[in-house]
């Protein structure tokens, strides 16, 4: 994956796509001030370079019946690379876990878990998460409400801008 040196047009393309992944190439080109063919070439180059990982719809968990969101701090008994990797592989098999981040510090991972209700979450916690090999402790926090949800990165804070 070859990195592309980002210029102002690339940054604008990234910002517009981050804000609206369904924007047409023609509209994107108009917004960034170039014609459609070079705009499409730039988008493809940004994808190939790994700056754009994909496109998706931002679904409402609550509207779809997933009313419980929990963040779980997970500590493992062993932090050997093989054990960390094994846990990460296990996490990929759990549909309720929507995000997993390895941490530095007291805990090894933080998981974002979405469930239909408290009973579904509790069943996952007791049958899957705490029962997983190498898990020593799990500390959970149930969310009350989201205050900010802004996927992506703060492009306006990029160096060189």
What residue ranges of the chain are covered by domains with CATH 1.10.10.10? 8-56
- Return per-residue pLDDT of the chain as tens, 161 residues: 566 689 999 999 999 999 999 999 999 999 999 999 999 999 999 999 999 999 999 999 999 999 999 999 999 999 999 999 999 999 999 999 999 999 999 999 999 999 999 999 999 999 999 999 999 999 999 999 999 998 899 998 887 65
d(CA 51, CA 149): 21
The second-level CATH assignment, the architecture, of 8-56 is: Orthogonal Bundle (1.10)
68-142 carries CATH number 3.30.70.920: yes
Among 11, 112, 14, CA closest to 55: 14
E-strand ranges in 30-161 read 68-76, 97-102, 109-115, 135-142
What residue ranges of the chain are covered by domains with CATH 3.30.70.920? 68-142
pTM: 0.86
């Amino acid at each position: 994956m070859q990195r592309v040196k980002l210029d102002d047009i690339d940054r604008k393309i990234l910002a517009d796509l981050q804000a609206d992944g369904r924007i047409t190439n023609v509209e994107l080109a108009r917004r960034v001030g170039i014609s459609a063919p070079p705009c499409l070439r730039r988008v493809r180059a940004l994808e190939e370079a790994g700056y754009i990982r994909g496109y998706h719809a931002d679904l409402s968990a609550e509207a779809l019946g997933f009313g419980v969101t929990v963040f779980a701090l997970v500590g493992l008994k062993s932090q050997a690379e093989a054990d960390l990797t094994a846990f990460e592989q296990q996490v990929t098999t759990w549909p309720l876990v929507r995000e997993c981040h390895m941490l530095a510090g007291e805990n090894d991972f933080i998981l974002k878990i979405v469930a239909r209700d408290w009973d579904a979450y509790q069943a996952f916690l007791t049958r899957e998460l705490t029962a997983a090999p190498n898990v020593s402790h799990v500390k959970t926090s149930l969310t009350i409400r989201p205050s900010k949800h802004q996927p992506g990165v703060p492009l306006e804070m990029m160096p060189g801008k």
